[in-house]
Amino acid sequence: MAGIYIHIPFCKQACHYCDFHFSTSLKYKDEMVHALISEIKLQKGYLNGETIETIYFGGGTPSVLDSDQISRIINTVTELHTVSSTAEITLEANPDDLKPDKLKALRQTPVNRFSIGIQSFFDEDLVWMNRVHRGQEAESSVKRAQDAGFENITVDLIYGYPTLSDTKWKQNLDKVFELNVPHVSTYSMTVEPQTALAAFISKKKQPPMNEQQSAEQFIVLMDAMQAHGFQHYEISNFCKPGQYSRHNSNYWKGVKYLGIGPSAHSYNGDTRQWNIANNAKYMQALETGKLQAETEELTEENRLNEYIMTSLRTIWGLELVKLNQIAKGASAELLKAAAEYFDREWIIQKDNVIYLSATGKLYADHIAAGLFF
């Protein structure tokens, strides 16, 4: 099984914290769809005929495309690949795009899952982030999607920023539970270079993010999710039993995937490839039947470190046997490096699998870095 990620590089406006590749000009949507279809055709051999289990439209804001454009892209994939009859096909969407007519049209496409970028239900937070939508629209978009027959929905929330008090954070979570969605993705606000938020902080127009606040709100999050029957199956992701994001789970499990679109990454087990992050150059290259991309051959060390980083973040943990399959004797070396984390009870071992403890989840990146080869 394999997955296909399709990057739609358009947004109506730029969120202050976002460093993903996108353009706020929607002028060339048709030309971009044509280029994406050209790349799908050009890259048809990348996954060596493996069955496609997941298709994921990310961005940017994929919901700015109309249903016909989305169908054309999916139809191209199904023409060139064997797509599972039970494939998970996800569309990232902004609440303001999910109007009744749009939802009705999307029901006629193969899309069967939404990832809705809510971030907060409070207007002052959304203004602070420079989001397009407002809190009431966030709530009503989920209800509209459910009424239209879409049950497989995940919502995104962000915590750990100045305007979000602990009380408001709990209210955001309560609203999600009230909406009865089966999956929630949550992210601590991070300050990425070259973003408006980074510029505001450097000019002292905004305070820096508070790590203590972020850690405390993460603990509130974990406790609330557990109390409402959600599994914490990956550091940032929670779901009702068994209702994982199949596409994102495959990233963490090292499953092959093909990335289509400007800035998209691909992985086939031996190499990693990434496309140029420039809309005009991406489209121009595909007009001539070429793809502007770079490729990296993965070394043994790359594969070890990538497995450590991704597996530790999940409920499935780091399998020592799998580590030794990548490099003989690697597990013994890792266990030596892990001694201090065992002592602090940040990680635990059951049989031949290592997991993060509840406290360890607060230090996931630090622990992974300390275990790298």
Residue 170 pLDDT greater than 90, yes or no: yes
In percent, the amount of the chain with pLDDT more than 70 equals: 100
Q: Is the pLDDT of residue 349 over 90?
A: yes
* Among candidate residues 316, 311, 313, 360, the one with its CA nearest the CA of residue 340: 360
Q: Which of 51, 53, 95 is nearest to 245 (CA)?
A: 53
- pLDDT given for residue 107 in this prediction: 97
What's the mean pLDDT in 313-326?
96
Answer whether residue 145 shows pLDDT above 90: yes
Query: Can you read off the two tokens belonging to residue 332?
Result: 């013994």
Tokens of 331: 């597990």
Looking at the predicted structure, is the pLDDT value of residue 252 above 90?
Answer: yes
Mean pLDDT of 353-358: 97
Q: Which helix (H) or strand (E) holds 79?
A: helix 67-80
CB 187 within 8 A of CB 160: no
For residue 246, the model assigns a pLDDT of 97
Predicted pLDDT of residue 139: 97
Provide the edge-to-edge strand list for the sheet that holds 318-319.
318-319, 353-356, 347-350
CA distance 77 to 37: 8
Q: Which residues contact 10 (CB under 8 A, 6 or more apart)?
A: 22, 23, 24, 25, 26, 29, 32, 59, 60, 61, 64
Name residues whose C-beta falls within 8 Å of residue 292's C-beta, 6 or more positions apart in sequence: 275, 276, 278, 281, 282, 285
Cα–Cα distance measured from residue 103 to residue 100, given in angstroms and rounded to the nearest whole number: 5
The mean per-residue pLDDT over the stretch 115-126 comes to 98
Q: Does 357 score more than 90 pLDDT?
A: yes
Share of the chain above pLDDT 90, in %: 97
Residue 83: strand, helix, or coil: strand
Does position 343 have pLDDT exceeding 90, yes or no? yes
Is the per-residue pLDDT at 127 higher than 90? yes
pLDDT in tens, 87-120: 999 999 999 999 999 999 999 999 999 999 999 9
Spatial distance between the Cα atoms of 180 and 86, rounded to a whole number of angstroms: 23
pLDDT band (50, 70, 90) for residue 19: confident
Kindly state the average pLDDT of the residues 199-206: 95
pLDDT at residue 62 greater than cutoff 90: yes
Task: Quote the pLDDT of residue 287.
Answer: 96
Q: How buried is 13 (Cβ within 10 angstroms: 0-12 exposed, 13-18 middle, 19+ buried)?
A: exposed
The span from the first CA to the last CA of the chain, in angstroms, equals 29
Q: How confident is the model at residue 160 (pLDDT cuts 50, 70, 90)?
A: very high
What whole-number distance in Å separates Cα of residue 65 and Cα of residue 10? Answer: 9
65-86 in b/e form (b: 16+ CB < 10 A) is: bebebbbbbbebbeeebebeee
Give me the pLDDT at residue 24, please.
87
